[in-house]
Every structure is written in structure tokens, then in C-alpha cells.
Amino acid sequence: MQTDSSFTFVLFGGTGDLSMRKILPALFEAHRAGGMLADSGKIVAVARHAANRDEYLQWVNEHVKPHVSKDGLDEAAWTSFLARIEFVKIDLGNPEDFVQLRDAIKDLPGIRVFYLATGPSLFVPICHALASVGLNENARIVLEKPLGYDLKSSNAINDAVGEIFAEEQIYRIDHYLGKEPVQNLLALRFGNALFEPLWRREWVESIQITIAEELGVEARGDFYDNTGALRDMVQNHLLQLLSIVAMEPPHSMDSDSVRDEKLRVLRALKPIDPNEIGKVAVRGQYHAGGIRGSTVPGYATEAGVKPDSTTETFVALKVEIENWRWAGVPFFLRTGKRLADRVAEIVVNFRPVPHSALGASALRAGANRLVIRLQPNETIRLYCLAKQPGEGMNLASVHLDLAFDKFFREGQMEAYQRLLLDVIRGRLALFVRRDEQEAAWRWVEPILNEWKASTKPPKPYAAGTWGPAAASAMLAQHGTCWLEEEN
């Protein structure tokens, strides 16, 4: 893909973990591909932990380089990429330092993008400081999650940022929306006559969306203990994936058409009755256990975590959508830390045939299903039944692999690479609009409030398992189970 759109990409938090692992590697891959980034485009890192440009580039070589180009580093491309990078040392807490930033970028070409890879407490001060030196005009700003702690705090941040940047200037990023299989989900549904007629309550029995992690809280104990899995994963990633799966066909793929349909799904979520939360929501917390042969500690003993913490590290939910397409179809959402595997996937379980002349195996749940895996490997598989070779009519499960790498020579684009290119080119479709965010917070708040007031601790589960037994029991009540053994 070619572009001649020049840009100045200003990266706040230039020495942070996100910049090191995701943002700078994604920009490098776009640079290395050739033609994706304008030759005149510049990257301006902003941080206070480096003295000057040379010291910052030394940091980039030491910390960023190991995260790029899994198929081998192109040294010439890396050298030319470093030539794009400028550095400005400022203290984000000192608005007067932003004069230095203004002066450093005033002669750089193209659209200005400000990426806030910082804690949310700095979002508003940075925006005010940018406005104080006139850098908010004709610019784009990217906000990382978490955007607030609840609906009230989210609205406070959005109100403050909205006074400085117009809604069409604000890019609230959710990297799951940039993953290739999610893009292919849209293509499968809206580009083919095969799937869309089946994508409704008459043919779909249930849908599962799972984001499971093997890792614990790592060095983020302080942050996580004040956040929890519901805020960290459900309010944004899982509800965004649900809205993509369940949305109506947009009239086009322009930004507001797509986001309007996602918003309709979020507003159609069946409200949670506080008296029913125990039946449709499971919260858990991992105890000591084993991950791939290694013993790992329990959550309450992690650094930065209160010993008597009731913060949830696991959430499973039953969600219903109150519209004609999905009435009566349960959506099961699940996320957790220290689970048995690292996997993110969407499972669409189709209804069995109404009557089978081929035996009971044709009637079993899950015989026909579509599995869209987002990580660790990105695949889409369609499962169905076929006759086993030999005598008799014995059925066995087989699958069709949608192996895109065999059809397309170019490699798959990483989520952050796609989303950063969309920001530079002004494409908002894969970014979260404010009203979407408000609808998601409004739906999860009854659960947050009930768990905060509850005297019951989260249900324990051993690290290295698939979470509390109550999560499986919730699905068993609907005659189904979590899909946990796909390869």
C-alpha cells in the first residue's frame, strides 16, 4: 500500500513498556515494508529518562531491537528507521516544557499525531499543555486504555479531552480490533453469501469469546489490584469483540457506519439485574499452582497486591442481546490471568440438525462451529461432520482451515501496525467512539457495584487451570461447555 501522506508522530512515554514492545516495533515494520510510511515522516519520542537523541537511540537499540522482525532483522532498514527518530526531553508534569516540544516540531511536515502511551492520569494534563502552545489544532490524539475507572471518571476524561480536541480528532485505541482475524470476520460475514444468512438466532446456538492469559500480574501489581479483570479486559476488549461479532451489516465501511452498528449492539445488551449477578457472572482469583511445569505464586502474594485483596483475576459472563437477530442466544465471555493456556478466540456454535437419520452423533452440540482464533496463532476454522472411512455410517468431526497465508504472499499485519497506519491516514472505523465507551461502562457498572459491595470473596482457582468450576457450571446449565482444547 502506497502513501505520500507526510506526518509527525509524537510518542509520549517514549521509554515505556508499550513503546518498547508494540508501538516502535509496529512503526518499524511499516517502515521496513516500504511505501507504507511517507519518506518525510518523522517520529518524535518524548520522555525524561534519556538526556538527548543519542542516548535515546542507544535505548532503542538495546530495548526495542529485540522485539522487531521475527524473520530476521534488516540492518539497512533499521538504520534508516533510526534516522526518522527525533527526541525531546521534557517533564510531562511541567507545562512550560511543552514550549520545547512546539519549537522542536514546528518545522516538521505533515499531520501531527500525538500518541499518549502514558498512564491515564496524565491524559488531561498533556492535552491541556498541548493546547497551551497551540499543538491541538489540526492534530490527532491517540488514547490508550484504561480510559477511566468507571463511567463517571471516563466521562470526566472524555469531557476534558473533548474541550481541547474534537471527537473526530480522538482515536481511542483497542488493539484487538486491529487483529487480522477480526478483519477477516467482517470479510466473511459481509463479503460472502454463505455465512450471513446463518448469523442469527435461528441457526446459532451460542457464542463464546475468550481472552485467556498464562501470565500473572507481573510487575503491575499496584495497577492491577486497583483495576481487576472486569475493567481491564471486559469493558473494552471483550465487549468490543462482541459488538463486532453481533453487529448488523453497515451500509459501508466508513468510520461512523461501522461504529453506529457497534453502538446499537452495546445499547441492546440486556441490563444486568443486581439480584441475578450471581447467576450470570463469575469472578475468580488465582491461587498458587503450576504453569508449564513451573510453580507460580498466588495472586495475593504478588508484589504490589494487598494480602487480603478481593480483586478479580478471572471473569466469566453470560450476556444476552435484546434484538431480533440475537434474542435468546447466550454470549459467554471469559477472561483471566494464570489460566491453562494463552489464547484469544471467538467460537460460534451452530445449532444441530433438527432430526438425524445418521445417528445421535449428528445431533451433538458443537458439531458445527466456526472458531476464529486471534492468538497465539491467527486462524479461522470451520468444523463439520463427515463420514469416517469404512463400513457403516460413522461420523467424525473434520475442519476446513481458512489458511490466508497460503493464498496471500504478503505476511499478516500486526494489530498495532494496522491501527497506527489508520491514525496517520485519518481512518476512525477501528477506534472506539465516545458513545460506545459510555454504553460499555454503563452496562458493566452494576456488576462493578455489586462486587464492590459484596462480602463474598472471588472464587479461587489454581494457577494453570481454566478458572473456577462455577464458570463451567454456568455453561452446563445451557447444555454446552467451554472450548478448551483447540490446536
The reply to whether 311 and 181 lie within a common domain is yes
The reply to whether 209 and 131 lie within a common domain is no
Does residue 141 surpass a pLDDT of 80? Answer: yes
- What CA–CA distance (Å, rounded) separates 46 from 114? 10
Residue 2 within a domain: no
**Sign of the dihedral defined by the CA atoms of residues 3, 7, 10, 14, in that order:** positive
Question: Which of 144, 163, 185 delimits the end of a domain?
Answer: 144
Arithmetic mean of pLDDT over the chain: 91
| CATH number of the domain within which 251 lies | 3.30.360.10
pLDDT above 90 coverage of the chain, percent: 71
Residue 167 within a domain: no
Q: What is the pLDDT of residues 167-181, one digit of tens each?
A: 999 999 999 999 888
**Bridge partners of residue 10, in order along the sequence:** 44, 114
Residue 168 within a domain: no
Question: Which of 99, 129, 144 delimits the end of a domain?
Answer: 144
Does residue 341 surpass a pLDDT of 60? Answer: yes
Q: Which domain holds residue 105?
A: 7-144
Q: What is the pLDDT of residues 5-30, one digit of tens each?
A: 899 999 999 999 999 999 999 999 99
Region of poorest pLDDT, from 161-170, 215-224, 266-275: 215-224
Please, what is the angle between helix 24-33 and helix 75-82, to 10°?
120
For 341-361, what is the mean pLDDT? 85
The reply to whether 219 and 116 lie within a common domain is no
CA 298 to chain centre: 26
Question: How many CB atoms neighbour CB 334 within 10 A?
Answer: 25
Q: What is the pLDDT of residues 283-307, one digit of tens each?
A: 999 999 999 989 999 999 999 999 9
> Strands 85-89 and 111-116, how do they pair?
unpaired
The reply to whether 46 and 137 lie within a common domain is yes
Residue 487 within a domain: no
The reply to whether 126 and 211 lie within a common domain is no
Overall domain count for the chain: 2
pTM exceeds 0.85, yes or no = yes
Q: Which residues make Cβ contacts (< 8 Å) with residue 252, sequence separation at least 6?
A: none
The reply to whether 100 and 212 lie within a common domain is no
Residues serving a catalytic function are: 237
Q: What is the pLDDT of residues 75-92, one digit of tens each?
A: 999 999 999 999 999 988
Does residue 69 surpass a pLDDT of 90? Answer: no
The pLDDT, as a whole number, for residue 146 is 79
Instruction: List C-alpha distances in Å: 116 to 65, 106, 170, 303.
Output: 21, 19, 11, 26
Question: Which of 144, 166, 196 delimits the end of a domain?
Answer: 144
The reply to whether 135 and 248 lie within a common domain is no
Does residue 192 surpass a pLDDT of 90? Answer: no
The reply to whether 186 and 90 lie within a common domain is no
For the stretch 455-473, what's the b/e string if a residue is b when 16 or more beta carbons lie within 10 angstroms of its beta carbon? eeebbebbbbbbbbebbbe
Residue 312 within a domain: yes
Residue 151 within a domain: no
The pLDDT, as a whole number, for residue 403 is 66
The reply to whether 260 and 347 lie within a common domain is yes
Q: What is the pLDDT of residues 25-42, one digit of tens each?
A: 999 999 998 889 999 999
Q: Name the grid cell of 15.
A: 521509554
Among residues 124, 104, 105, the alpha carbon closest in space to that of 170 is found at: 124
Does residue 190 surpass a pLDDT of 70? Answer: yes
The reply to whether 235 and 130 lie within a common domain is no
Residue 172 within a domain: no
Residue 85 within a domain: yes
| CATH number of the domain within which 74 lies | 3.40.50.720
The reply to whether 117 and 187 lie within a common domain is no
The pLDDT, as a whole number, for residue 1 is 39
The reply to whether 109 and 187 lie within a common domain is no
Q: What DSSP state is assigned to residue 65?
A: G
For 262-286, what is the mean pLDDT? 95
For 400-406, what is the mean pLDDT? 74
